[in-house]
C-alpha cells in the first residue's frame, strides 16, 4: 500500500515458452496499480533473469510467407468453435495473443483478469513499407464478470522491430 | 467427393477454372469466390463424386495440373464427426469420446449406455428446461440390499464449457468399461451410487453449438424477450444475490429474478434436497482455470469441515498432477478466485452435504473455453 499513490505488487514469475514447455525463464516484476483514476494502465517494471529464445528463423519464414501472398490475408474464428487452429494460422494466433497482452495491460485493474478468448476476424492491411499490418477483431474474456468483450486492434509487426498496437478500441456487444 | 489442389499458371487457366466453377457450381474451399482465383495461388475445389471424371478430363484438356488433396471427403467427415443417422455410431463402442458432441447425440448416448449396461445403469427424469427440453441423469448403481451413499456429479451448467459434458460422458464410459476388470471401481460401487447429470444447462449448450459458442447462461427470456439468460451458477439459494452477481439481465452473471427462479435450478435443487441425507459428495464440473474449489464463494468464513475438505481436495490435485503434470490450485472460491453467491456448490454444502467441490478443468486461458478436442482425453484421464 502506498499512501496517496496506489497498490504496488512485487512478483516473482516463471515464464514458460508456449511452444516449448520445457523452456522457462525466471522474471521479477513490480506492478503499481494507481489509486483513483482507473483509466491509467498499471505501471510495470520487470527484469528477465535469462534470455528469451531466438525466434529469427520462424519469424522470417512467417514474414516471407505473408509478404509473398498475392492477396491480403483474411481469416475468421481462430481458434474455431472446436478449439482447432490450422498450422498456417498459428502465427496469426500468436501475434494476436501478444498484441492482446498489450490491450489487456492497458485496461487492467486490480479487479480484472482478462484472457484472449477468440479471434473473430483478422484482415491484413496493405502497406507500402516493410511492416506487416493486421486489423483484428478479438473477443476478450473477463473472469470476474465472465463477460465476453469484443475489441478491435490494429497490429504492426516486423521481424526486427517487433509488435506494436497502433490503435485499439472496445466494441459494442452485439445484441 | 474429392478435393483437388490446383495452382493455375496462366491467366487463361484461371479463366477456364473460373468458368468451370461457375458452370458446374463447384464448391470452392480456397479461395471463397471464383473472382479470387489467381495465377500462382493455391486453389482447392471440392468436386461432387458424379462430376469428378468430367472435371479431371477438362483439366487435362487445358493442361492444368492438379493433385488430389482429399480422395474421399465423406470419409474425412465421418472420422471427425460421427454421422447422426448412422445406426452403428449410436452403440457406445462406436461413440467417440474424444470429440465434442451436440445435445441430440448426448441424448442418444444416454439411451444407449443404459441399454448396453442395464445391470448397472438407469436413466431418470430430473425435470424440464426453460425451453421445455427434458433433463435426464444417469444412475450407476450395483444391485444390492444395502442403502448406499450417493455421489452426485453435474456437468455443463455453463454452456460454453464444452470440456465439462465431455468429461461426464468420459467418466461414465470409464466406470462402465473398467467395472469388471478394476477392483477399485467394484469396491467403490459396492458402497456408493453414482448419479451423473451430463448436461445441466441443455438449452444453453445447444445455443452454444448453434448460435454463439461463448454463451454461458441459460435461455430464459427477460424484459419482454429483449434479453436472455440467467447464470445458473448464481441462481441457487445460497446467499442468493448478495455478492459477485449482477441484477441486470444483460450481464453474464445475472442471478435471475430470485433464488431458484430457473426451472433447471429447481430441477436439480428439488432432487438433491430429497436425497440429501444420503448424498456424501456433490461435484460440479466447469472450465477453465484448473482449480478444485471448496466452499464458500459468498463469504470467506470457512465451512465447518474445512480441514477435511481441503485435505481430500489436495490429495485429488496431487493424484491429478501425477498423471500428466497438470497443476490444479485448491481452495475456497472466495479466497483463490473471486466472490460469488448463489453457486450450486455453496448451496449443496449449506444444506448439509459434507463434501462439495467445483472442478474447473483445463486449461489456464491459452485456449480457455475453446479447448481443442485433442485435449479431451488427457484432461479426462487426469481428472479420473
pLDDT tens-digit map of B229-238: 999 999 999 9
Spell out which residues of chain B touch residue A139, defining contact as CB-CB under 8 Å. Answer: 214
Spell out which residues of chain B touch residue A68, defining contact as CB-CB under 8 Å. Answer: none
Spell out which residues of chain A touch residue B209, defining contact as CB-CB under 8 Å. Answer: 81
Average pLDDT over residues B311-328: 91
Classify residue B213 by its DSSP letter.
Answer: T
Q: Which residues of B215-243 are buried (b: 16+ CB within 10 A; e: fewer)?
A: bbbbbbebeeeeebbbbbbbbbbbbbbee
Whether residue A79 lies within 8 A of chain B, CB to CB, comes out as yes
Q: Does pLDDT of B92 surpass 80?
A: no
Q: Which of A88-102, B21-35, B154-168 has the lowest mean pLDDT?
A: B21-35
Q: Where are the domains of chain B?
A: 2-77, 103-212+232-383
Give the residue on A whose Cα is nearest the Cα of B255. Answer: A145
Q: Does pLDDT of B87 surpass 50?
A: no
* CATH tag, B2-77: 3.30.70.340
The per-residue pLDDT for range B238-268, each reduced to its tens digit, is: 999 999 999 999 999 999 999 999 999 999 9
Whether residue A147 lies within 8 A of chain B, CB to CB, comes out as yes
CA distance A169 to chain B (A): 20
| Domain covering A54-174: architecture | Roll (3.10)
Helix count and strand count (H, E) for chain A: 2, 8
The per-residue pLDDT for range A138-162, each reduced to its tens digit, is: 999 999 999 999 999 999 999 999 9
Q: Are B40 and A70 a contacting pair at CB < 8 A?
A: yes
Query: 3-class DSSP state for residue B313?
Result: helix
CA distance B10 to chain A (A): 15
CA distance B7 to chain A (A): 13
The question of whether B262 is a catalytic residue gets the answer no
Give the residue on B whose Cα is nearest the Cα of A21. Answer: B325
Q: Where are the domains of chain A?
A: 1-53, 54-174
Q: What is the pTM of this model?
A: 0.75
Q: Which A residues, 19 through 58, put their C-beta within 8 Å of a C-beta on chain B?
A: none
Query: 3-class DSSP state for residue B68?
Result: strand
B347 phi, psi to nearest 5 deg = -60, -45
- Rounded CA separation B59/B65 (Å): 7
Spell out which residues of chain B touch residue A18, defining contact as CB-CB under 8 Å. Answer: 366
| Domain covering A1-53: architecture | Roll (3.10)
Three-point CA angle B169, B160, B194, nearest 5°: 30
The per-residue pLDDT for range A28-54, each reduced to its tens digit, is: 999 999 987 678 899 999 999 988 888
Distances (CA, A) of B116 to A94, B16, B107, B111: 45, 56, 15, 9
What DSSP element (H or E) covers B43? strand B43-47
Q: Does pLDDT of B82 surpass 90?
A: no
Indicate the fold that domain B103-212+232-383 takes in CATH: Aminopeptidase (3.40.630)
Q: Quick one: pLDDT band at residue B293, thresholds 50, 70, 90?
A: very high
Number of neighbours of residue B36 by Cβ within 10 angstroms: 15
Residue, of B339 and B86, whose pLDDT is higher: B339
| pLDDT in the model for residue B79 | 66
Distances (CA, A) of A16 to A23, A52, A115, B94: 6, 10, 17, 38
Q: Are B41 and A84 a contacting pair at CB < 8 A?
A: no
| Nearest CB neighbour to A79, from listed B31, B365, B367 | B367
Tell me whether the CATH fold assigned to A1-53 matches the one assigned to A54-174: yes
C-alpha distance across the termini of chain A, in Å: 41
Give the residue on A whose Cα is nearest the Cα of B102. Answer: A82
Amino acid at each position: 500500500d502506498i499512501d496517496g499513490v496506489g497498490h504496488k505488487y512485487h512478483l516473482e514469475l516463471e515464464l514458460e515458452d508456449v511452444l516449448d514447455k520445457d523452456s522457462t525463464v525466471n522474471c521479477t516484476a513490480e506492478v503499481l496499480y494507481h489509486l483513483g483514476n482507473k483509466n491509467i494502465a498499471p505501471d510495470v517494471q520487470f527484469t528477465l533473469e535469462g534470455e528469451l529464445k531466438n525466434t529469427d528463423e520462424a519469424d522470417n519464414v512467417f514474414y516471407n510467407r505473408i509478404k509473398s501472398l498475392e492477396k491480403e490475408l483474411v481469416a475468421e474464428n481462430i481458434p474455431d468453435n472446436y478449439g482447432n487452429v490450422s498450422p498456417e494460422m498459428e502465427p496469426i494466433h500468436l501475434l494476436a495473443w501478444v498484441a492482446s497482452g498489450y490491450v489487456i495491460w492497458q485496461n487492467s485493474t486490480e479487479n480484472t483478469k482478462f484472457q484472449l478468448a477468440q479471434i473473430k476476424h483478422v484482415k491484413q492491411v496493405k502497406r507500402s513499407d516493410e511492416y506487416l499490418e493486421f486489423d483484428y477483431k478479438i473477443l476478450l474474456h473477463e473472469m470476474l464478470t465472465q463477460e465476453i468483450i469484443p475489441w478491435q486492434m490494429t497490429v504492426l509487426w516486423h521481424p526486427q522491430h517487433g509488435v506494436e498496437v497502433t490503435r485499439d478500441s472496445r466494441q459494442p456487444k452485439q445484441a | 467427393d474429392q478435393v483437388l489442389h490446383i495452382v493455375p499458371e496462366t491467366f487463361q487457366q484461371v479463366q477456364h477454372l473460373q468458368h468451370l466453377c461457375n458452370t458446374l457450381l463447384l464448391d470452392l474451399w480456397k479461395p471463397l469466390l471464383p473472382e479470387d482465383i489467381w495465377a500462382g495461388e493455391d486453389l482447392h475445389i471440392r468436386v461432387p463424386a458424379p462430376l469428378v471424371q468430367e472435371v479431371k478430363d477438362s483439366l487435362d484438356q487445358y493442361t492444368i495440373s492438379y493433385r488430389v488433396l482429399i480422395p474421399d471427403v465423406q470419409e474425412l467427415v465421418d472420422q471427425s464427426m460421427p454421422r447422426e443417422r448412422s445406426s452403428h455410431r449410436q452403440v457406445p463402442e462406436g461413440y467417440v469420446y474424444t470429440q465434442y458432441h451436440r445435445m441430440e447425440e448426448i441424448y442418444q448416448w444416454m439411451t444407449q449406455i443404459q441399454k448396453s449396461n442395464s445391470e448397472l445403469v438407469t436413466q431418470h427424469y430430473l425435470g424440464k428446461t426453460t425451453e421445455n427440453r427434458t433433463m435426464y441423469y444417469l444412475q450407476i448403481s450395483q444391485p444390492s440390499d444395502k442403502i448406499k451413499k450417493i455421489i452426485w456429479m453435474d456437468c455443463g451448467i455453463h454452456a460454453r464449457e464444452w470440456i465439462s459434458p465431455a468429461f461426464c460422458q468420459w467418466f461414465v464410459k470409464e466406470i462402465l468399461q473398467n467395472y469388471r476388470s478394476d477392483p477399485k471401481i467394484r469396491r467403490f460401487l459396492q458402497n456408493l451410487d453414482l448419479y451423473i447429470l451430463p448436461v445441466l444447462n441443455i438449452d444453453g449448450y445447444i445455443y452454444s453449438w448453434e448460435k454463439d459458442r461463448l454463451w454461458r447462461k441459460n435461455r430464459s427470456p427477460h424484459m419482454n424477450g429483449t434479453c436472455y439468460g440467467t447464470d445458473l451458477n448464481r441462481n441457487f439459494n445460497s446467499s442468493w444475490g448478495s455478492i459477485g452477481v449482477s441484477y441486470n439481465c444483460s450481464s453474464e452473471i445475472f442471478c435471475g429474478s430470485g433464488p431458484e427462479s430457473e426451472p433447471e435450478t429447481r430441477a436439480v435443487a428439488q432432487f438433491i434436497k430429497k436425497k440429501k441425507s444420503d448424498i456424501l459428495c456433490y461435484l460440479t464440473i466447469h472450465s477453465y482455470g484448473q482449480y478444485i474449489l471448496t466452499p464458500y464463494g459468498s463469504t470467506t468464513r470457512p465451512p465447518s469441515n474445512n480441514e477435511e475438505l481441503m485435505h481430500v481436495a489436495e490429495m485429488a490435485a496431487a493424484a491429478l498432477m501425477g498423471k500428466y503434470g497438470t497443476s490444479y490450485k485448491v481452495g475456497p472460491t472466495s479466497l483463490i478466485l473471486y466472490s460469488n453467491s448463489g453457486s450450486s456448490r455453496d448451496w449443496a454444502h449449506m444444506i448439509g452435504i459434507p463434501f462439495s467441490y467445483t472442478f474447473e478443468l483445463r486449461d489456464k486461458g491459452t485456449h480457455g473455453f475453446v479447448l481443442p478436442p485433442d485435449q479431451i482425453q488427457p484432461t479426462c484421464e487426469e481428472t479420473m
